[in-house]
Amino acid sequence: MMKASTDCFTLDRVSDDHILRKTKGAMRLPSCGQFSAPGKITQRSCAYYGARWMLAPIKDAIHLVHGPIGCAYYGSTVRGKNYRIFTTAMEEKDVVFGGVKKLEKTLREAKLIMPHAKCIFVYVTCTPAIIGDDVTSVCKKAEKELGCPVIVVNCPGFRGESQSKGHKIAYECLFRYIIGTRSSGRKKRSRPLVNIIGDYNINGETYLIKSLLSRIGIDVHCVFTGEADIEKMACAHEADLNLLICQSSGRFLAEAMQKKYGIPYQKVSFFGLSRTCDSLRRIGAYFGLGAEAENLIIDETKKIFYIKRDYIPRLKGKKAALFFGAARMSMLMDALEKDMQMQVVFTGSQFGDLSTYMEAWEGAREGTYLIDDASDNELEDLLHDLKPDVFMGGTKENFLSHKLGIGFVLFPQPKQAGPYIGFEGFANFVRDVYKAIFAPVWRLA
Amino acid sequence: MKVSGDCLNGRIKDIYDLSEIPVEGINYDQMYIEKYPLTPEYSPPPEELVPSGKRTVVIDPSRTCMPFGAMWATMGVHKAIAFVQGAQGCTTYVRYTFARIFREPAAIATASFHEDAAVFGGRVNLVNGIRNLICRYKPALISIVTTCSSEVIGDDITNFLEEAKEQLVEEFGPEVLDLVKFVVVSTPSFAGSHVEGYNRAAKAYIQTLARKVSPNNKVNIIPGMITPGDIREIKHILRLMDIDDIMLFDISGTLDCPLRLPQGMPYYPKGGTKISEIVDMANSMATFALSPDAGTAGAVYLERKYKIPAVLGPLPLGVHNTDKFVKKLSEITGKPIPEEIKDERGILIDAMSDTLHYTMGRKFAVCGDPDIAAAVTRFACELGMEPVAIMSGTPSKTFVQEVWTTCEEYGFKPRIINEGDMFEWEECIKKEGVDLILGHSKCVNIAKETETPLVRIGFPVYDRVGYQRRAYVGYRGGEYLLSLIVNTILDAKYPDDRVHQ
């Protein structure tokens, strides 16, 4: 019909520079950090989404969305969990006359309804940002009146190229207005104290990390933001070390805390056996607890020996494909290729930056495709042409993959899957990958 | 395991704490699994701030914004893709919602608004976006759905679309306009709700596409936001009555699709309302808007413009409402009500009589979209249950009247909340106490908190499997919903199955 097909993406003719294949020779990276082209069915989301993703688990705060009702409705569910949400539910007359009066009144009422809240987050969405509501001055006024910090999270959906902007905005707010505002008064500590940045307590993952660290002899103070309350975050600057887990969303906070409070940070990952062991060893070595870490690793590895015996031989050589937010891209590639002896055929991310792609390039084997901000039909084409045995990504990709007859492992994982990190979590993950590949349904399809 | 006295006096937190469940000694009320008492920080809120009409803050809304409804409608059209003139989140959140409810892929394109669009308007985004979308997906129809940001900026969509068409013709030749149709649905998010968005989409599609030719002896059905299973049940009734229909926004063929390999590329579901069918809607005998709040605009437009009688609701859920629907169908088409349908009705009545001891006198609360909430309330009343708090998250003109009539008829005086939020409704439940909650998945929190069983119905249900494939409308759907209600009551009140042996 039309000449359209020339513009269509095909694997033979890679026209776009946001996808490339790893070859021998110098490092090349897909173009990233760009705005998505309009009309593309992108998997990305907006800054508000990113900010909610970060801040939703903070439980002793009021989360107030200043904007039309839809944003609050969607934002009340984060990672499959429902949180209480307050909103101004802007209407036509607020758009015409400005929503400032409504916001003032709403703040007062919200505080009356939830008097034990220690802080109020006010999310600014597209509409008030475009009509130019002066949210900052309202919040300053309310702060005095209500006697608790009222923090403006300026995250209208059109800011930045994707939700990663929202992640940064959220951490910026925490860093500027909450961290370091209080002192715990404790002077002496017998055990080292660390913060964890970028863990979101999916199915109790935070508790798992805490128990591993505590067995080495390290206490965890605050987990951003999987287990964070205002009190803990306020004195998070007293920790000895920051452990950075999600490197794309949390790096800003880790670097800022290093600069301002002199707290060093370590990039760690508890995903996959080799990375978990490596991380524990490095943390142990940092605090002079190397022997304890080694013992823990030996103990725990023994417990999941059956995984190595029963599952991994069957998974060997199977093809996997990945598409994630950003940080999991290379983390998972390691786990799949090194620990599970599988082969990754393509890996991509919605909003990875140069450093994440550099890491991915280094970890990838030859022939692996790297793709940034894949659209729906690019994923479809890749899955169709490369025929992986299993695909991993988010909910939106899940059912497309099933429609093409390819097993899927969902991230963040659903409730029944349990945690995926640490040693036990690795066993859970391997079992789920096994299920996704070997389910009888694919033979029946 | 020995059961200690402590264990019996206090509530048993986890059933897995017991290696064996003793039959004697534990009363059923104590044997709940994973339930929490009122959260420790709970303190009753100030009395004057509970009714949502008396405050400006909205807490836990039970409605979302208009673009959602327009996107839902577009999902029901064959090879149609919605193009959302707004930021990326406006589509991504919706795609998540569809994926979670229907467990199906949902392709929706975005104009990707960024700072420049917020300042200079979305003209470039729309013109380039439409071109990109056509190149990549070759859809048969693109519906342009506006959002709060594009409406606030004041994007002149009609003009932008003309420009986009001109460019398309220039690039691909004039035949491109025969291959792709365009529908503009204006849905500023700061007004109405998702139900109104669907309503507007119904009107926009009909207005843009429907053309009068010659009578086709069909009836138009505008289903509203009901499940694919519901739509199949409506079609089943029509087939039994030997009536041809045009189902507008038929999501049963797009959001509940078979997995059959190999799949064509790019992936398009087989089903959905064909554009030719929407064009033909101007030639039908009558239009049934099953959900009066989601579809009236379309039905009324057809009535005014083409003199096609409009039948507005009620949603055929429960005995009375389905009776009304079937009778009206028979009246308009002149076809008799067949034996099979009378038998299906008889089976529902039989099931109701068999279970009346479980349902009579139970107090219930309902929360959901207005049409579904009103119909479910009537059905529960038909089962002898007593309404306590009935809420529609969406403002509706007919909802209060509908529920009021039902309650007058059965002699109850419940709290009826129009355009409320979950907070008000939950406080009402906490105060009054109910035996059963009928509502969407967001009611899980209050169900857990007050230890009340929940029957999931309405939009959205994402934490149960197969919900979208079942029918709740019609006599057979009523029978299924009845079983669901009774089994939920049984599970909650008598969790140990041994008592039924």
Mean pLDDT of all residues in B7-35: 43
Does pTM top 0.90 for this prediction? yes
Please give the C-alpha separations between residue B176 and each of A282, A420, B167, B274, in angstroms, as whole numbers.
61, 49, 11, 18
Q: Which of A40, A47, A126 sits opposite B132 (nearest CB)?
A: A40
Confidence of residue A34 (pLDDT cuts 50, 70, 90): confident
Alpha carbons within 13 A on the beta-carbon side of A39? 20
In this predicted structure, the answer to whether residue B495 has a pLDDT above a threshold of 80 is no
- pLDDT reported for residue A413: 86
CA distance A14 to chain B (A): 14
- pLDDT reported for residue B3: 39
Judge if the upstream peptide bond of residue A225 is cis by omega within 30 degrees of 0. yes
For the ranges A100-109, A324-333, A349-358, the one whose mean pLDDT is highest: A100-109
| Cα B184 to Cα B150: distance, rounded to the nearest angstrom | 13
Q: Which of B89, B105, B261 sits opposite A399 (nearest CB)?
A: B105
| Cα B471 to Cα B477: distance, rounded to the nearest angstrom | 5
| Mean pLDDT score across all residues of chain A | 90
Q: What residue type is assigned to position A66 of the chain? A: H
- pLDDT reported for residue A32: 85
Note the residue count of chain B: 501
SS3 state at B456: strand
| Cα A321 to Cα B500: distance, rounded to the nearest angstrom | 50
SS3 state at A285: helix
In this predicted structure, the answer to whether residue A55 has a pLDDT above a threshold of 70 is yes
| Cα A165 to Cα A155: distance, rounded to the nearest angstrom | 8
In this predicted structure, the answer to whether residue B494 has a pLDDT above a threshold of 90 is no
Give pLDDT tens digits for A269-309. 999 999 999 999 999 999 999 999 999 999 999 999 999 99
CB B201 within 8 A of CB B74: yes
- pLDDT reported for residue B25: 41
CB A160 within 8 A of CB A128: no
In this predicted structure, the answer to whether residue B12 has a pLDDT above a threshold of 70 is no
- pLDDT reported for residue A8: 37
Count the neighbouring beta carbons within 10 Å of the beta carbon of residue A261: 14
- pLDDT reported for residue B210: 96
Give pLDDT tens digits for A411-429. 888 878 888 989 989 999 9
Q: Smallest Cα–Cα separation from A165: which of A176, A153, A175?
A: A153
- pLDDT reported for residue A16: 64
Taking an 8 Å cut-off on Cβ atoms, the answer to whether B64 and A74 are in contact is yes
Confidence of residue B375 (pLDDT cuts 50, 70, 90): very high
Taking an 8 Å cut-off on Cβ atoms, the answer to whether B134 and A94 are in contact is no
CA distance A362 to chain B (A): 31
Confidence of residue A80 (pLDDT cuts 50, 70, 90): confident
CB A421 within 8 A of CB A335: no
Alpha carbons within 13 A on the beta-carbon side of B387? 31
Give pLDDT tens digits for B306-352. 999 999 989 999 999 999 999 999 999 999 999 999 999 999 999 99
For a pLDDT cut of 90, what percent of chain B falls above it? 80
CA distance A258 to chain B (A): 31
Confidence of residue A13 (pLDDT cuts 50, 70, 90): very low
Q: Smallest Cα–Cα separation from B319: which of B379, B259, B231?
A: B379
Euclidean distance between the first and final Cα of chain B, in Å?
25
Contacts of B96 in chain A (CB under 8 A): 74, 395-396
Confidence of residue A263 (pLDDT cuts 50, 70, 90): very high
- pLDDT reported for residue A14: 40
Mean pLDDT of all residues in A182-189: 80
Chain B residue with CA closest to A90: the answer is B190
0.90 surpassed by complex ipTM: yes
- pLDDT reported for residue A49: 96
Q: Which of A4, A72, A159 sits opposite B61 (nearest CB)?
A: A72
Contacts of A350 in chain B (CB under 8 A): none
Judge if the upstream peptide bond of residue B460 is cis by omega within 30 degrees of 0. yes
In this predicted structure, the answer to whether residue A10 has a pLDDT above a threshold of 50 is no
In this predicted structure, the answer to whether residue B11 has a pLDDT above a threshold of 90 is no
Chain A residue with CA closest to B106: the answer is A396
CA distance A416 to chain B (A): 12
Written as one string, the DSSP assignment of A4-27 is: GGGTS--SSS---TTEEE--SSS-
Give pLDDT tens digits for A216-247. 999 999 999 888 889 999 999 999 999 999 88
CA distance B383 to chain A (A): 32
Which residues have a Cβ under 8 Å from the Cβ of B311 and sit 6 or more positions away? B286, B287, B288, B289, B299, B328, B332
Contacts of B125 in chain A (CB under 8 A): 38
Which residues have a Cβ under 8 Å from the Cβ of A329 and sit 6 or more positions away? A322, A347, A348, A349, A352, A356, A359, A360
- pLDDT reported for residue B47: 87
Note the residue count of chain A: 445
Contacts of A3 in chain B (CB under 8 A): 171-172
CA distance A234 to chain B (A): 21
Contacts of B189 in chain A (CB under 8 A): 68-70, 127
- pLDDT reported for residue B262: 83
- Find the DSSP H helices in B121-259: 123-137, 148-153, 157-172, 176-179, 194-209, 228-240
Taking an 8 Å cut-off on Cβ atoms, the answer to whether B193 and A375 are in contact is no
Mean pLDDT of all residues in B397-403: 94
Contacts of B81 in chain A (CB under 8 A): 41
| Mean pLDDT score across all residues of chain B | 89
- pLDDT reported for residue B365: 97
In this predicted structure, the answer to whether residue A30 has a pLDDT above a threshold of 90 is no
- pLDDT reported for residue A33: 84
Give pLDDT tens digits for A301-330. 999 999 999 999 999 999 999 998 887 888
- Backbone φ and ψ for A246, nearest 5 degrees, come out as -85, 105
Q: Which of A46, A158, A398 sits opposite B99 (nearest CB)?
A: A398
Euclidean distance between the first and final Cα of chain A, in Å?
33
- pLDDT reported for residue A234: 93
Q: Smallest Cα–Cα separation from A439: which of B259, B224, B435?
A: B259
Say how far residue A113 (Cα) sits from the centre of its chain. Answer: 31
Mean pLDDT of all residues in B217-244: 96
Copy the structure tokens of residue B448. Answer: 């857990």
Provide the total of helices (H) and of strands (E) in chain B, helices listed first.
20, 14
CB A138 within 8 A of CB A106: no
Written as one string, the DSSP assignment of A216-273 is: HT-EEEEEEETB--HHHHHTGGG-SEEEE-SHHHHHHHHHHHHHHH---EEE---SSH
Q: Smallest Cα–Cα separation from A348: which of A407, A402, A388, A316?
A: A388
